[in-house]
Amino acid sequence: MTTQQVEGVSAQVGAGPESKSGEAGFITTKLNALLDWGRKNSLWPMPFGTACCAIEMMATLSSRYDLARFGAEVIRFSPRQSDLMIVSGRISIKMMPVLIEIYNQMPEPKWCISMGACASSGGVFDTYTLIQGVDQFIPVDVYIPGCPPRPESLIDAVMLIQQKIARNQRQTKLYDRTRHPLDFEPVALVSNAAEAPATLTGSRHSLPPKDVRTVAEKDEA
């Protein structure tokens, strides 16, 4: 009988079934860690595709990018069987009640990806009919920037979700758009500009003056 480290979990492994010795092997772990390990490697996504982001999502699922490599290829069109909501596309005020209904129907525990600019912030559609970020109404775990994002970005997001599940983390808070930093009074920004770190005032006006010396002058210096 040997002892070895498997994925950071202390495990005692028997001879293993490959030896076909007939001995019983065993692993010791925590029940929650085992559940999280199972969940993270067999995500069942619920696709909420309403626009061009959904095309990229389909590309991610099909053979070229092959989301099956990450155990998340079992797309469920029933929310009752899924644990990962992928909001891919713009959500209108007529669609938002549907999204909330479907999200409520998903069993716990569940995670959510907000894919693309429109789902995350409304994108370019700052109009009466479009939700300015679904994270105001349902908790979002991972955001994907892009318009639409490349399949690699979606794969990255699924891997981030897997990491969160492995750490047993979930987003429970909603985003309050009325408290957005850009909504603050511009006067306050200007008055604090001198004290603020350079990264906060980083605009092209705060760049150092342009170096106008010739190559020869630089060489001399």
Site string for other proteins, 175-214 (x = CB under 8 A): --x-------------------------------------
First to last CA, the chain: 70
Give the strand pairing for 111-115 and 142-144: parallel
Exposed e or buried b for every residue in 114-140, given b needs 16+ CB within 10 A?
A: bbbbbbbbbbebeeeebbbbbbebbbb
* Residue 149 Cβ vs other proteins, minimum distance, rounded to whole Å: 23
At 91, the amino acid letter reads I
The C-alpha atoms of residue 92 and residue 139 are separated, in whole angstroms, by 18
Site size toward other proteins, by CB under 8 A: 22
Q: Among all chains, which residue has been given the structure tokens 């200007």? A: 190
Nearer to other proteins, 3 or 172 (CB): 172
Q: Which of 139, 156, 164, 201 binds other proteins (CB under 8 A)?
A: 139
> In terms of CB distance, is 92 or 201 closer to other proteins?
92
Neighbours of 56 (CB within 10 A): 23
Q: By CB under 8 A, tell whether 155 contacts other proteins.
A: no
Interface segment toward other proteins; rule CB under 8 A; list 29-37, 64-72, 132-140, 144-152: 132-140
Residues at the site binding other proteins, with contacts judged by CB under 8 A: 93-94, 96-97, 100, 103-104, 108, 126-132, 136-139, 172, 174, 177
